[in-house]
Amino acid sequence: MPASSRCRRPALSRWLSTTIALPLLAVALSAHADVLVDNVIGLTPDGKGGLERFTGLLIDDQGNISAVYHDKEKRPKKVAYKVDGKGRYVVPGMIDAHVHIMDTGFAKMTLDLSGARSLEEALVQVRAYVQAHPDRSWIEGNGWNQANWGLDRMPTAAELDRVTGGKPAYLSRVDGHAAWVNSAALAAAGVTDSTADPAGGRIERAAGSRRPAGVLVDAAQDLVAAKVPQPRPSDRDTAFGEAQLEFLKQGVTALADMGTTIQDWQAYRRAGDAGNLRVRIVSYARGTDDMALIGGSGPGGWLYGDRLKIQGVKLYLDGALGSRGAWLKAPYADAPETSGLPRMNETQLGNLMSRAAIDNFQVAVHAIGDKANETVLDTIDQLSQTYKGDRRWRIEHAQVVAPADVVRFGQHGIVASMQPQHEASDRTMAEARLGPARLAGAYAWKSIAATGAPLAFGSDTPVEPPAPFVGLAVAISRQGADGQPVGGWQPQEKLTLGQALAAYTSGAAYAMFAEDRLGRLARGMKADFLFVDRDVATATPEALRQTKVVETWINGQQAWSAARGVAKPLTSGKAR
C-alpha cells in the first residue's frame, strides 16, 4: 500500500498565505472548521493511480473536506463537532456509474422472481402474488431468468395463464431485455399471429407457427408495456424512496442514472424540494426527447447542493446477450440463425449522438455485442472531427469487444462504463452464446484499461444488486460467490484492488464530469464516505464480498447507519 509519507498541510482558507506557520493556522481554521472525523484507518484513491492512507478528515460547514490528516499531523483544537472513529475503517462513498434508479425502486414494489430456481417455483410465486394482490388490475414482476431454471427455452404464455386467473401479466426478464407475458396481456395489446416483429425487437413464436409464444424481446416489449397502467406520481415517489434506501445501505453515495425520463426527473426534483434527496444523482436522459425536456438547451449545473444534475443522454444500440439481442459481428454460437438485434443503424445513431453533442450533452451508448461496440467506435471516430473538446463519450457495458477493436477505446477520450458483477453472472451463458473464439474480448476490463480508457464501474441495478463490494471482489478475482471458477474466469483480465476501487470512485466520478468534487477523500472534495467493517485494501476476495457498510456519510453528514437507518437531514436539501 503506497501510503503517502508526504506531510499534508491543513486546509487553507484562500486568503491565507501559505507561509503562515502551522500553529497559527490551526487557530485560524477553527472559525471555518465544522466537523473533525478522527482516529480512523482511511483509504482513498490518490488521484495518481495509487491508494493512500489517512487517519483524519476535517469537514467544513459546506460539507467539503478542508484537510486530510495522516498519523502524527496536528489537528485543530477547536471544532464544532468531533467524531471519534475508534480505529474504524473509512473509504470513499462508492459511485455506481450505471444504475436504473426508478426500475430499482419499482422492482422492490412488484413481484421479484429473481430467487426462483425453476419454472414451477416461478409459477408458484406468481400464483401467490396474484392471490395476495386482488386489487391489482395488471400483474407486474421482474427478475426471472430461464437460464437458472434448467430450461433451454423461454417460458410461455400458456404456462403463465395457469396461475394468473385471467388477469394480464407482464414480467420483465432479469436483464430488462425481454418480457414474459400471458394471453390476457397479448390480447390487451392486440398482439396476434399477424403482428409483425417491430424494428429492433422480436416476438417469440410457438414452434412451427406464427402464434406469439409469450416472450417479447427488446423493442417488442413495448407492444405490451404500452398497455400497462402508468404509475402515479406518488407511486414514483415511493419507488424513489425504496431505491435511495437501498443505495444508502450499500454505501453508494452517488450514481449515474441511465435513462432518466421526465417523470423520473420530476420525482427526483420532488425529493430535492422536500429535502429528501440524499444520494447524488447524475442523469442521462432516456433518449433525446427526454434530454431536451429535462435539460433544455444544454446540461444544467448541480441542484440541491450538488445532489442532482442532468449531464447527458443514454442511447441503446443493441440488446443483451441473455435474450440474444446483443448485436454480434458473426452469428450466435448457440443460435446460428441470428446475430442479434440492432436497435438502429449507424446513420440513426450518428444523428442522435450529434443531436446531443451539438448542445454539449454527454453521450452514453449501450453497446454489448462486438458489432455494436465497433459501430459506436466508428461513430465516435466520425463525430470527433466535428465535436471537439472534452466530450467523454461513454460506452455502456462494452461487454463483447473484438480484440482488434479494444485498442480503439484509448482514443477520443472514450470512457468504458462496465459492470463486474455481469461477468460473474453471465460467464456460462456468455460461453454458450459466443463460443470460445470470442471470449478474449469479453468483459475485458484490464485490456480496455490498458488502452488508457478510464474505467467506470457500476452494477446496472436492478439487473444486479447495487453492491459495490461484491463488484470489487469480482473485479479482482473473476470469480462468483461460489468461488468458481478456480483461479478466475479469463484471469488475465483481473484488476488490482487499486484499479477496481478507482473505477468505483474516482473513475466513476470522472465518467460523470464530477471528479472536481467526488470520488476521492482529499482537500476540496465533498465529504462523502463510509465506515466499513474491514480493511478493503487487504481483504481476500471472499472477505471483500462480505464487507458490511456501518455508516454512510454524504456531504459531511451521516445519511444512514446500520444501527439507526436513514438519518434525518440536519439541513434541508435546498440549504445545502
Binding footprint of Zn ion on the chain (CB under 5 A): 258, 460
Q: Identify which of residues 372 and 539 has a Cβ nearer to Zn ion in the complex.
A: 372
State the nearest-atom distance from the C-beta of 98 to Zn ion, in Å. Answer: 6
Burial readout 505-537 (b: 16 or more C-beta within 10 A, e: otherwise): bbbbbbbbbbbebbbbbbbebbbbbbbbeeebb
Q: At what angle do helices 420-434 and 468-477 cross, to 10 degrees?
A: 50
Q: Identify which of residues 258 and 449 has a Cβ nearer to Zn ion in the complex.
A: 258
What are the Cα distances from residue 124, in Å, to 71, 116, 127, 129? Answer: 58, 9, 5, 9
Closest residue to Zn ion using C-beta atoms:
460
State the nearest-atom distance from the C-beta of 323 to Zn ion, in Å. Answer: 14
Helices (H) and strands (E) in the chain, counts: 18, 22
Dihedrals phi, psi of 253, to nearest 5 degrees: -105, -15
State the nearest-atom distance from the C-beta of 255 to Zn ion, in Å. Answer: 12
State the nearest-atom distance from the C-beta of 136 to Zn ion, in Å. Answer: 26
Distance from C-alpha of 96 to C-alpha of 458, rounded to nearest angstrom:
4
Distance from C-alpha of 564 to C-alpha of 403, rounded to nearest angstrom:
49
State the nearest-atom distance from the C-beta of 31 to Zn ion, in Å. Answer: 46
State the nearest-atom distance from the C-beta of 100 to Zn ion, in Å. Answer: 6
Q: Identify which of residues 424 and 559 has a Cβ nearer to Zn ion in the complex.
A: 424
Q: Identify which of residues 11 and 102 has a Cβ nearer to Zn ion in the complex.
A: 102
- Amino acid at position 407, single letter: V
Tell me the pairing of strands 169-173 and 178-181. antiparallel
Distance from C-alpha of 319 to C-alpha of 202, rounded to nearest angstrom:
11
Q: Are the CB atoms for 500 and 472 separated by under 8 Å?
A: yes
State the nearest-atom distance from the C-beta of 320 to Zn ion, in Å. Answer: 9
Dihedrals phi, psi of 437, to nearest 5 degrees: -65, -30
What are the Cα distances from residue 509, in Å, to 8, 458, 459? Answer: 23, 11, 15
Q: Identify which of residues 91 and 418 has a Cβ nearer to Zn ion in the complex.
A: 418
Q: Identify which of residues 83 and 365 has a Cβ nearer to Zn ion in the complex.
A: 365
Candidates 502, 507, 501, 494; CA nearest to 544 is 501
Q: Identify which of residues 46 and 460 has a Cβ nearer to Zn ion in the complex.
A: 460
Q: Identify which of residues 314 and 438 has a Cβ nearer to Zn ion in the complex.
A: 314
Q: Are the CB atoms for 216 and 201 separated by under 8 Å?
A: yes
Beta bridge partners of 95: 254
State the nearest-atom distance from the C-beta of 281 to Zn ion, in Å. Answer: 15
